[in-house]
């Protein structure tokens, strides 16, 4: 091996070892600090050196040009680094200086049901910026896994688990009697009706999920107990059973419209794993109003450099699979056919 | 440590027993009986995995119990390595199978869980499955590397590769899977969390393990078989990083991150 090629590959190995050490260090300091650490000027120097060395390596090693798999792997790595740097905070600043492109890199927007919004609170600073289009939230909803189960426990430690099905009665055995789910509430409130307290489902904004349970003793006496999802320990001293229930969220859905001028140009329900792509941005379901379900919080992310990274991923994948698997399989098949 | 008095637990214990018996009979030079027991163990492991799948109603790769249940189905990999790659360590695979099932049987919680929204993606199964396959291959490569370090090579009549070459060959099979796992995870991260790279501890450990094997290839390209011990040490270090990625990051509270639902 020529001296300069040996030097290049030694440098490559050193840079790999440095990145191994930095990755392990980054794993100990947590994601937020690691992101800052890997975007600092010394790290930028490192990324640039790595990308440059890869390009020099491709030019210097004829083997890399002759063996397609190896070439794809190395070009793929260059693209991933280039796309990553182009889409980073520094990359966005550079694009602003060089080309005047002032794109939001990352931020969050809060949209109330029925309202339009185009303001994005930036993650990098306390500033707000406007999108060139608006988003309207038609509806936000949460879906739960079915069935929901009511957990029943006696003071002696006996336990049952029954599905929350309105109107259905469940036997808990001869000693414990029966239990029946009478009604469910999304926003449980107590009001006064004819001088008596009466529970009702309040349609105004708010969330206090509860179920009404009728307990029938083996002797025939009945009593009503309310079970609150958000207050699982709620019970009276005389209650025979400790009851609780918890709904498991299966999905968060924001029904959105994109509005340019006065026209609706796109519509999509976004959920986790199903973002909305529009105008060079991706919109993700990020959070929601857990008190009253009135608004959704979306994460807004620029797609700058993303498709370069994806191209790099494809090349890296195809290159590794070709170089380490397929060419061996094909050469074996060739030998067999001869 | 707890014993699971369930059908699921029973299937896991039966698999462990079959694998251990297979290992013992193989080292006592009864290879045919050993092979039959290994095959039986694999059949029970498949039943255990299938039973779990039916029970939780999704591909059981969500938590460590399910992942280790999957890792216990090592038989096809060891058969592939022996028949196609001409790599030994058949008896060791039986032991590896029993060892990975041990925490599933006695340590990890088997309480079924429903998939949180982030895990409801078509990428869930390929991302985890590809990683599991790569981990099994890398575990086998590490065993060969340890054999090389201990100076143990197959006997001439066995028609098997020497340990150093066997390590290289298995790493060559496992590395594309490791790469695919990393890339699928990154693509999924973009869809679910908005970033294809979140600098999460688990992501960084998986990057470190990928880079160690990358270093192994570069070192071996530079020196060939001149320093076989150092080649083997790269492979062992890679496996150590994989173990940390898989276990420590999920179990330890030192590294809270986006992958914490896998604990």
Q: How far A114 CA lies from chain B's nearest CA (Å)?
A: 25
d(CA B105, CA B10): 9
A149 vs A159: CA distance, rounded Å: 12
**Which band of pLDDT confidence, cut at 50, 70 and 90, is reported for residue B214?**
very high
CB neighbour list of residue A282: distance below 8 Å, 6 or more residues apart: A275, A276, A300, A301, A303, B190, B194
Chain A neighbors of B176, CB-CB under 8 A: 317, 320-321, 324-325
Closest chain A residue to B116, measured at CA: A250
B158 pLDDT higher than 90: no
Given an 8 Å threshold on Cβ–Cβ distance, is A249 in contact with B117? yes
Diameter over CA atoms, chain A: 98
Residues B139, B96: contact at Cβ < 8 Å? Answer: yes
Res A214: pLDDT: 92
Return mean pLDDT, chain A. Answer: 91
Mind listing the pLDDT tens digit for each residue in A116-168?
999 999 987 889 999 999 999 999 999 999 889 998 988 788 889 899 999 98
Write the pLDDT tens digit of every residue in A325-337. 999 888 888 887 7
- A321/B176 CB distance under 8 A: yes
The DSSP-derived string for A239-293 is: -SEEEEE-PPEEEEEEEEEEEETTEEEEEEEEBTTB-EEETTEEEEEEEE-TTT-
Q: CA–CA separation, A185 vs A200, rounded Å?
A: 8
Please check the confidence at residue A237 and state whether its pLDDT lies above 80: no
Distance of alpha carbon B34 from alpha carbon A332, whole angstroms? 31
More confident residue, A313 or A240: A313
Whole-angstrom distance, CA of residue B8 vs CA of residue B105: 9
The residue of chain A with its CA nearest to that of B199 is A31
β partners of residue A184: A211
Q: Which of residues 81-140 of B touch A (CB under 8 A)?
A: 114-118, 120-121
For residue range B23-74, what is the model confidence (pLDDT) as tens digits?
999 999 999 999 999 999 999 999 999 999 999 999 999 999 999 999 999 9
**Chain B, nearest residue to A108 by Cα:** B194
Lowest mean pLDDT among A20-34, A185-199, A244-258, A289-303: A185-199
Contacts of B230 (CB under 8 A, 6+ apart): B219, B223
- All residues of chain B having their beta carbon less than 8 Å from the beta carbon of residue A23 are 204-205, 207-208, 211
Separation between Cα atoms, residue A6 and residue A12, nearest integer Å: 10
B262 pLDDT exceeds 50? no
Separation of alpha carbons A79 and A315, rounded Å: 9
- Which residue among B120, B180, B196 sits closest to A273, beta carbon to beta carbon? B120
Chain A contact set for B242 (CB, 8 A): none
* Cβ–Cβ < 8 Å for A246, A229: yes
Find the CB nearest A16 among B211, B254, B255.
Answer: B211
> Residue B12: which residues within 8 A CB-CB, separation 6 or more?
B4, B48, B69, B72, B101, B104, B105
Closest Cβ–Cβ partner in B176, B199, B211 for A26? B199
Binary contact (B204, A309; C-beta < 8 A): no
Q: Which residues in chain B are contacts of A274 at CB distance < 8 A?
A: 191
Nearest to B15 by CA among B90, B104, B86, B82: B104
Instruction: Give the separation between CA A242 and CA A234, rounded to whole angstroms.
Output: 8
Put simply, whether B260 touches A (Cβ < 8 Å) is no
Nearest chain B residue (CA) to A14: B215
- Chain A residues in contact with B120 by the CB 8 A cut-off are 250-251, 272-273
* Chain-chain contact of B114 with A6 (C-beta, under 8 angstroms): no
- Distance between A249 CA and the closest CA of chain B, angstroms: 7
Whether residue B244 has pLDDT greater than 60 = yes
> What does the pLDDT average to over A46-54?
97
- At residue A106, the pLDDT reads 94
Element (H, E) at A132: strand A128-144
Q: How many CB atoms lie within 10 A of CB A37?
A: 15
Residue B194's nearest CA partner among A285, A163, A42, A260 is A285
pLDDT at position A21 is 98
Q: Are B249 and B259 in contact (CB under 8 A)?
A: yes
Which residue of chain B has the CA closest to A248? B114
* CA–CA separation, A202 and B119 (whole Å): 34
- Residues of A with Cβ-Cβ distance to B172 under 8 angstroms: 324
- Which residues of chain B from 149 to 178 reach within 8 Å of chain A, CB to CB? 172-173, 175-176
Cis upstream peptide for A316 (omega within 30°): no
A281-288 vs A178-185, strand pairing mode: unpaired
Average pLDDT of the residues in A235-255? 85
Please tell me the pTM assigned to this model. Answer: 0.91
- Please tell me which residue of chain B has the smallest CA distance to A106: B194
Nearest to A26 among B188, B204, B249 (CB): B204
Query: Residue B155: its pLDDT value, please?
Result: 85
Question: Of B191, B202, B215, which has the smallest distance from its Cβ to A17's Cβ?
Answer: B215
Q: How confident is the model at residue A207 (pLDDT cuts 50, 70, 90)?
A: confident
Distances (CA, A) of A114 to A295, A311, B104: 9, 39, 49
pLDDT tens for B245-255 read: 988 777 766 66
Tell me the CA distances in angstroms from B201 to A84, B108, B115, B256, one per residue in order.
19, 21, 22, 8
Chain B hits for A275, CB-CB cut-off 8 Å, are 191, 194
Determine the distance in angstroms separating the CA of A198 from the nearest CA of chain B, rounded to an integer: 36
**Can you tell me the distance from the alpha carbon of B155 to that of B193, in angstroms, rounded to the nearest whole number?**
52
Q: Please, are residues A300 and A278 in contact by the beta-carbon 8 Å criterion?
A: no
Residues 196-235 of B with CB under 8 A from A: 196-202, 204-205, 207-208, 211-212, 214-215, 218-219, 221-222
Phi, psi of A309 (to 5 degrees): -60, -45
Q: Which chain B residues have a beta carbon less than 8 Å from that of A17?
A: 215
**Average pLDDT in the A75-93 region?**
95
Q: Return d(Cα A140, Cα A256) in angstroms, integer.
A: 9
Residues B222, A9: C-beta atoms closer than 8 Å: yes
Tell me the CA end-to-end span of chain A in Å, nearest whole number: 34
């Amino acid at each position: 091996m020529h001296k300069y090629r040996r030097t290049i590959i030694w440098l490559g190995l050193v840079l790999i070892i440095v990145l191994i050490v930095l990755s392990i260090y980054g794993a100990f300091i947590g994601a937020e600090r690691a992101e800052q650490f890997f975007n600092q000027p010394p790290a930028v120097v490192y990324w640039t050196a790595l990308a440059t060395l890869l390009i020099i390596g491709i030019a210097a090693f004829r083997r890399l040009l002759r063996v397609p798999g190896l070439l794809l792997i190395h070009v793929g790595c260059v693209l991933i680094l280039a796309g990553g740097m182009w889409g980073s905070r520094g990359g966005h600043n550079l694009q602003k200086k060089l080309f005047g492109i002032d794109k939001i890199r990352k931020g969050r927007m809060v949209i109330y049901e029925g309202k339009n919004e185009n303001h994005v609170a930036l993650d990098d600073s306390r500033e707000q910026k406007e999108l060139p289009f608006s988003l309207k939230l038609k509806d936000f909803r949460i879906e739960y896994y079915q069935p929901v189960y009511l957990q029943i426990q006696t003071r002696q430690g006996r336990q049952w688990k029954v599905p929350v099905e309105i109107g259905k009665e469940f036997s808990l055995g001869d000693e414990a009697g029966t239990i029946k789910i009478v009604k469910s509430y999304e926003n449980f409130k107590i009001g006064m009706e004819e001088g008596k307290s009466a529970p009702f489902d309040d349609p105004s904004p708010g969330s206090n999920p509860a179920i009404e349970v009728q307990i029938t003793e083996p002797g025939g006496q009945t009593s009503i107990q309310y079970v609150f999802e958000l207050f699982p320990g709620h019970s009276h001293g005389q209650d025979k059973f400790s009851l609780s229930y918890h709904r498991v969220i299966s999905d968060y859905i924001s029904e959105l419209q994109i509005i340019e001028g006065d026209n609706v140009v796109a519509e999509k329900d976004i959920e986790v794993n199903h973002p909305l792509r529009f105008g060079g941005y991706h919109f993700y379901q990020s959070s929601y109003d857990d008190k009253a379900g009135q608004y959704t919080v979306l994460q807004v992310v620029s797609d700058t450099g993303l498709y370069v990274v994806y191209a790099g991923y494809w090349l890296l994948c195809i290159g590794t699979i070709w170089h380490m698997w397929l060419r061996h399989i094909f050469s074996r098949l060739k030998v067999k056919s001869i | 440590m707890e014993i699971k008095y369930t059908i699921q637990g029973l299937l896991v214990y039966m698999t462990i027993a079959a694998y251990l018996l297979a290992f013992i009979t193989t080292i006592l030079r009864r290879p045919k009986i050993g092979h039959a027991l290994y095959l039986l163990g694999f059949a029970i492991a498949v039943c255990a995995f299938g039973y779990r799948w039916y029970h939780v109603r999704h591909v059981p790769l969500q938590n460590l119990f399910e992942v280790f249940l999957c890792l216990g189905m090592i038989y096809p990999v060891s058969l592939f390595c022996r028949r196609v790659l001409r790599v030994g360590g058949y008896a060791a695979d039986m032991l590896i199978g029993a060892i990975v099932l041990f925490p599933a049987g006695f340590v990890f919680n088997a309480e079924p869980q429903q998939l949180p929204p982030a895990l409801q993606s078509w990428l869930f199964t390929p991302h985890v499955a590809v990683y599991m396959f790569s981990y099994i291959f890398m575990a086998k490569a590490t065993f060969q590397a340890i054999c090389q370090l201990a100076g143990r090579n197959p006997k001439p009549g066995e028609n098997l590769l020497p340990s150093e070459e066997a390590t290289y060959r298995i790493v060559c099979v496992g590395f594309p899977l490791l790469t695919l796992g990393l890339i699928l995870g990154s693509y999924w991260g973009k869809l679910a969390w908005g970033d294809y790279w979140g600098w999460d501890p688990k992501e960084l450990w998986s990057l470190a393990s990928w880079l160690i094997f990358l270093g192994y290839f570069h070192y071996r390209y530079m020196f060939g078989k001149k320093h076989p011990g150092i080649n083997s040490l790269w492979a062992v270090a890679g496996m150590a990083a994989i173990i940390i990625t898989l276990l420590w990051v999920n179990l330890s509270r030192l590294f809270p991150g986006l992958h914490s639902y896998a604990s």
